[in-house]
Structure 1
Amino acid sequence: MNGTLPNASSQRGVALLLVLWACTLLAILLGGYAALARTEGLQARYQFAGTQAHYAAEAGLMRAIYGLQDPLIRQRWVGDGRPYAFTYDHASVVVRAIDEDGKVDLNTATPDVLQGLFRAAGLRPQQAGELARNIVDWRSPPGPADEPGSLRDEYAAAGRDYGPRRGPFVTVEEVQMVLGMTPALYRQLAPVLTIWSGSPSPNPNTAPPLALQAIPGITPQQLAAIRAARAKNANDPSLALNNGTTHSIEAVATLADGTSAVLRATVRMLPGLVGVKPYAVLRWQEGKQE
């Protein structure tokens, strides 16, 4: 015979090599499966923690709605932005509520109030006047004396592909589209702007500091007196005079592992109406604000 038959030792070597390759492949497959199972487990735990934090934040929102209408006046929450903290389902929850009546309404604020707000935010008088005019132009229907295209031309000259709405603001965020409103100025003003108060001027009993300065004719002495009265009455809800019917509420829930959820809602109270929910949600926002 020209060929030679493999001996028993070489056969055993080949078999051992095949077994080693099979074990290596099996180890790789098992390792991949273990990594996949671990990743899916982490994702499931993360989703569960996120859901738990979310519902704890919702509980904070519901607690605020009740607290702002608590029949025991001395236990009633005050809508001036102060924090209220409690624990719910192993989550730490912090809730703040701000009365919308104390903010500047983009749709109903007078030009003087708008200018006062912009000046309080640091704009020069001419800039404040121009921005106030642009906001009034945005929200006002076109009049018979308007020149067609004149306002749109101003926006086009500034590189905008749109003109004023010529109707009420639908959201607070819409004011970012108004000519003259910058991102930095919007971030500064957003907490004191609203479209839900319907008032020409902020309520001095509920206005945040920046909005308080927008009230026409208010003097430094009056500002000091209002702040002193608020500080004096801060711990007595029956004297605070802060609770209107519409509030912006922020609820932040944090778990022990650091997982957190943020809910922001604007809620209008509807007390005393039989057969309907005692509140209406005007705006709902989840997650951290950009």
Structure 2
Amino acid sequence: MIAHTRQRGVAMLIVLWACTLLAILLGGFAVMSRTEGLQARYQFAQAQAHYAAEAGLVQTINGLMSQDPQQRPIPDGRPYPITFDDAKVIVTVVDEDGKVDLNSAGGAVLQALFQAAGAPQQRAISLAAAVQDWRSFGIAGLPNGAKAPAYKAAGLPYGPRNGPFATIEELQQVLGMDNDLYEVVAPVVTIWSGRERPNPVHAPALALAAIPGMTPDQANALLASRQDPNASVAGANGVTHSIRSEATLADGTRAVLRAVVRLRGAQAGSQPYAVLRWQEGDSE
């Protein structure tokens, strides 16, 4: 009788352990299923926001190519709201002609840019010369500039390209440039305009300050004139534009796309535009 009771107790204990183990397994499966469900919803929302941002970008490109001036966005960085499905999309367009071209700008433009961005005069002079030395093919440097020996003396494992800037990010490698100054000037420099100085019609404020002879009063007047909703710069646009499209869903999910596009026009047998640069997110 006692042995039988012990057997029943052992059996009951095994059943209890089995039930406990089963409950743990079921709980784990429930947590895993919930986590997978949340991940799926997050990924779906991210994809939805991404495609909304892409729709805003494509719609803006179509507007830039429109024959109707009223349909073309003014490329001076002003925000354009767009609604796409349940997403709110904000698009900004900047004409690359309004920026400082790292490969074409003269020393006076580069110096004025760096000074306007907060660099002391002597540092701005040296940086302007170093930028010109970076892109020049010769081995002889400018006064206050930097060719290969200067980089070696600074302990850097590289020298100047001795050719045109291939990317905007390359500016970070120029001797004397630091991250703080780069973050300020990066939004207003380009490698795609080919202009010696920015086009003042839609240049950002910092790029306006880099134009020789541009006074603060003139720059402020230009910026103020853009606040007129009836203002138009039809016919003044270039062919290469930076576009930033930010989409936000009702639940706060956000996606940002940035692209540099060059319009080609309606040429037979060719794409109407080319994408020169494509980035997801706001990081450089």
TM-score category, normalised to shorter length = over 0.9
Which residue in the other structure is 2:258 paired with? 264
Deviation for aligned residue 1:32: 1.0
Q: Is the contact between residue 101 and residue 197 of structure 1 (CA under 8 Å) also seen in structure 2?
A: yes
* Correspondent of 1:82 among 78, 85, 88: 78
Taking the aligned partners of 2:105 and 2:203, their CA distance within structure 1 comes to 14
Deviation for aligned residue 1:157: 2.3
Which residue in the other structure is 2:4 paired with? 8
Taking the aligned partners of 1:227 and 1:237, their CA distance within structure 2 comes to 11
Deviations, residues 124-144 of structure 1 (Å, cap 9, x unaligned): 22111100000000000025x
Deviation for aligned residue 1:250: 0.4
Which residue in the other structure is 1:151 paired with? 147
Which residue in the other structure is 2:169 paired with? 173
Higher Cα Rg, which structure? 1
Give the aligned length.
Answer: 281
Which residue in the other structure is 1:212 paired with? 208
Taking the aligned partners of 2:175 and 2:9, their CA distance within structure 1 comes to 82
Taking the aligned partners of 2:216 and 2:272, their CA distance within structure 1 comes to 40
Alignment of 1:237-276 (within 5 A): 238-239=232-233, 243-276=237-270
Question: Which structure has more RCO (C-alpha within 8 Å, separation ≥ 6)?
Answer: 1
Q: Which moved more, 1:222-231 or 1:116-125?
A: 222-231
Taking the aligned partners of 1:70 and 1:248, their CA distance within structure 2 comes to 17
> TM-score, normalising length from structure 1?
0.91
Which residue in the other structure is 2:230 paired with? 236
Q: Is the contact between residue 225 and residue 231 of structure 2 (CA under 8 Å) also seen in structure 1?
A: no
Structure 2: which amino acid aligns with 1:268? R
Deviations, residues 107-152 of structure 1 (Å, cap 9, x unaligned): 0001111011111112222111100000000000025x56xxx822
Deviations, residues 209-246 of structure 1 (Å, cap 9, x unaligned): 11111111223343244334434xx4236446652211
Percent same amino acid at aligned positions? 59
Taking the aligned partners of 1:289 and 1:66, their CA distance within structure 2 comes to 26
CA-based RMSD of the aligned residues comes to: 1.9
Deviation for aligned residue 1:180: 0.9
- CA 122–189 in structure 1, closer or farther in 2 if over 3 Å, else same: same
Question: Is 1:99 aligned to 2:95, yes or no?
Answer: yes
Question: Is 1:23 aligned to 2:30, yes or no?
Answer: no
Deviation for aligned residue 1:6: 4.0
Q: Is the contact between residue 111 and residue 136 of structure 1 (CA under 8 Å) also seen in structure 2?
A: yes
Provide structure 1 residue ranges, at least 5 long, that are not aligned to the other structure: none
Q: Is the contact between residue 90 and residue 246 of structure 2 (CA under 8 Å) also seen in structure 1?
A: yes
